[in-house]
Amino acid sequence: MEEPLTLRFERDGYAILPRIVAEDEISALRTLFLSEMKGRGEPEKSEGPLLDVAIKSPEVFRILRNRRFIGELSEILGPGFLVVPHSSVALNSFGQFHTDTMAPVMDGETFPHEEGYRLVTVGIYLQDNTEPGGGLRVVPGSHHLPDPFIHMMREKERKRDRYHNHKFLQFLNRVFRYKLFDFNRPFRNFEGELNLPSKAGDAVVFDMRLVHSASHPRRPGGAPPYGDKLAIFFTCGRDNAPTQTYLKWLRALPQNAYLNENRVIDEALQDESRHLGFKLI
Ligand SMILES: O=C(O)CCC(=O)C(=O)O
């Protein structure tokens, strides 16, 4: 008998929900997002994400009409869960190992350790994840452990500051063609990492405290077989106090001013969401 989804999620900190976007819809979504994101007329910004897609993009909201998807998310998050910012479509984003709670914890927030906490990132990848990347790497169970990045980020900042204040270190680095100091090396691999075998259209749901990284194309020089990497991301949370604290923290960040200025969620969309079993925030 298959283990219940909630037990698996609580133990591992992630779950793959298969076939949330049907195979025949993948290429239409890829074409749509690629034309939207590559044709924005701002070459230097062409790789930046589309933001707030849960409320702005009908094609993205359509995915939330999948009742099996909402049912499985409700198992993980509880009924009437919240779809909170950020939601985005990301093109060719290949971040390194981190947790999604590292930034608020570094700001002094404690909600990831509070009773009832359950905030997840949901990634719907529009290509298979294979050895050359396309999806997510995770460290199973790491959401139960203290966040290693708090110390690692402080160390990185300390080393960077020392380097920037030290002309001789900068000179040495130039001599060695900038290969001597690589402050991101500790973030490239992580002990216990697992490349999740997701297929295009699967949803990968993970606790925001889980150690994870984009799965990188690991063939130096070789183009990944899927071409451009595309993924849709949502953040979802249990309807409770830790989620509200997360929202308060998020809204107060200067780069998120767009969340506080004339941001209106269409009433019909909000009604439909309630009927489907979640609330848009
Ligand atoms: O880009 C990816 O595939 C990883 C996403 C990620 O790290 C995140 O959403 O926090």
Q: What spacing in Å lies between the alpha carbon of 135 and ligand 1's midpoint?
A: 8
Residue nearest to atom 5 of ligand 1 (CA): 214
Q: What spacing in Å lies between the alpha carbon of 211 and ligand 1's midpoint?
A: 11
- Region of poorest pLDDT, from 47-51, 145-149, 162-166, 265-269: 162-166
Preceding peptide of 216 cis, ω within 30°: no
pLDDT digits (tens, 9 = 90+) for 133-156: 999 999 999 999 999 999 999 998
Structural domain includes residue 138: yes
Structural domain includes residue 177: no
The closest-lying atom of ligand 1 relative to the alpha carbon of residue 100 is 10
- In this structure, which amino acid lies at residue 174? R
Structural domain includes residue 155: no
Q: Is the CB of 100 under 6 A from ligand 1?
A: yes
Q: At 182, is the pLDDT very low, low, confident or very high (cuts 50, 70, 90)?
A: confident
Q: Is the CB of 231 under 6 A from ligand 1?
A: yes
Q: Residue 56 sits in which domain range?
A: 5-143+193-258+268-280
Number of structural domains the chain divides into: 1
| Most confidently modeled range among 2-6, 124-128, 258-262 | 124-128
The closest-lying atom of ligand 1 relative to the alpha carbon of residue 208 is 10
Mean pLDDT along residues 8-32: 96
How far apart CA 6 and CA 78 sit, in angstroms, is 10
The residue whose CB lies within 8 Å of the most ligand 1 atoms, and thus the one to mutate among 128, 147, 213, is: 213
Structural domain includes residue 174: no
Q: Is the CB of 226 under 6 A from ligand 1?
A: no
What's the pLDDT at 178? 78
Q: What spacing in Å lies between the alpha carbon of 95 and ligand 1's midpoint?
A: 6
Q: Is the CB of 233 under 6 A from ligand 1?
A: yes
How far apart CA 238 and CA 76 sit, in angstroms, is 9
pLDDT digits (tens, 9 = 90+) for 79-97: 999 999 999 999 998 999 9
Please state, rounded to an integer, the average pLDDT across all residues of the chain.
92
How far apart CA 7 and CA 26 sit, in angstroms, is 30
What's the pLDDT at 173? 80
Residue 53 CB neighbours (<10 A): 21
Phi-psi region of 155 (alpha: psi -120 to 50; beta: other; left: phi over 0): alpha
The closest-lying atom of ligand 1 relative to the alpha carbon of residue 136 is 3
CATH of the domain at 76: 2.60.120.620
What's the pLDDT at 181? 78
Q: Is the CB of 195 under 6 A from ligand 1?
A: no
How far apart CA 138 and CA 25 sit, in angstroms, is 27
Compute the Cα dihedral for 158, 161, 166, 167 and give only its sign: positive
What's the pLDDT at 220? 63
Angle between helices 167-175 and 149-164 (to 10 degrees): 90
With a pLDDT cut of 90, the percent of the chain lying above it is: 75
Beta bridge partners of 194: 138
Structural domain includes residue 156: no
Structural domain includes residue 215: yes
Q: Is the CB of 200 under 6 A from ligand 1?
A: no
Structural domain includes residue 171: no
pLDDT digits (tens, 9 = 90+) for 233-261: 999 999 999 999 999 999 999 999 999 88
pLDDT digits (tens, 9 = 90+) for 198-244: 999 999 999 999 999 999 876 666 678 888 999 999 999 999 999 99
- Region of poorest pLDDT, from 69-73, 111-115, 182-186: 182-186
Angle between helices 67-77 and 5-12 (to 10 degrees): 60
Structural domain includes residue 227: yes
How far apart CA 222 and CA 202 sit, in angstroms, is 25
Helices marked H in the chain:
5-12, 23-38, 53-56, 58-63, 67-77, 102-106, 149-164, 167-175, 241-251, 267-276
Q: What spacing in Å lies between the alpha carbon of 126 and ligand 1's midpoint?
A: 13
